[in-house]
Amino acid sequence: MSVTRLPAGLSTRKSTNALGSYTAPDPSDEHRFFDDFNSFSSTIWTNTVVGTSTPAIVTGDGGILSVATSGASSDSSFLQKTGEGFSFEAGKPAWFKCRLQVSALTSVIVFGLQVTDTTPEDVTDGIYFLSTVTTGAVTIICRKNATTGSTSAAAGTLVAGTYTEFAWYWDGKDTVSFWQDDIQKGSLTGIAANYLPDTTTTISFGLRTTTAAVKTLLVDYIFASKSRR
């Protein structure tokens, strides 16, 4: 593997800036959240549960968070990061990425940036992925409050017991593009005027059973970032 070497450093600031001589990109260009789940602290997450669920780290390369439901139909576990920290603005791009798998497709799965809500599968604001059908089909949804409504598109497919990665990118102008496993699946346009969430959101993910059996969501990592400039 060839490595590009920049021994003097690499800056994203003008030479006259306070960080102009800093040897790495300005870390304040974006604010970001990344969790590789090498550990898990329940105190920073709000877990909305029907039945019982205790998310925990399980054995797996790279760190894996297991979120399991109990065994009745419509049992659920939805985790949302405490403290909403991501808003959407014109001129300020945002990114989201998550790698996960589900044990069975007889589950509702949701993950993305959403307003804090006790029913994340039917949330009023956010940009997020949702799967509600036994085919594993995943939809991306961009929603601006309950009154304005939402726009959506097919975003890919889950396979039970198989890891997959989903991502989206808000370009700060008028488009949300989305990917599965590094393959772009499409774009939602006309976002700025009609569908850009107008309230602050947070990291959100979880699942609900649709049959009377335990279901498990395994999350390898989750990432979100927004430009400050």
| Cα-trace Rg, the chain | 19
* pTM for the predicted model, two decimal places: 0.96
Q: Left, alpha or beta for 55 (phi > 0: left; psi -120 to 50: alpha)?
A: beta
What confidence score (pLDDT) does residue 23 get? 92
* CATH annotation of 31-227: 2.60.120.200
Token look-up 């499409």 returns 186
Q: What stretches of the chain show up as alpha helix (H) in DSSP?
A: 145-148, 191-194
What confidence score (pLDDT) does residue 36 get? 97
- The Cα–Cα gap between 39 and 7 comes to 33
What confidence score (pLDDT) does residue 1 get? 83
The residue ranges of every structural domain in the chain are 31-227
What confidence score (pLDDT) does residue 229 get? 86
Q: Mind listing the pLDDT tens digit for each residue in 164-205?
A: 999 999 999 999 999 999 999 999 999 998 999 999 999 999
- The percent of residues in the chain predicted with pLDDT above 90, rounded, is 93
Listed as ranges, residues in the chain with pLDDT below 70 are none
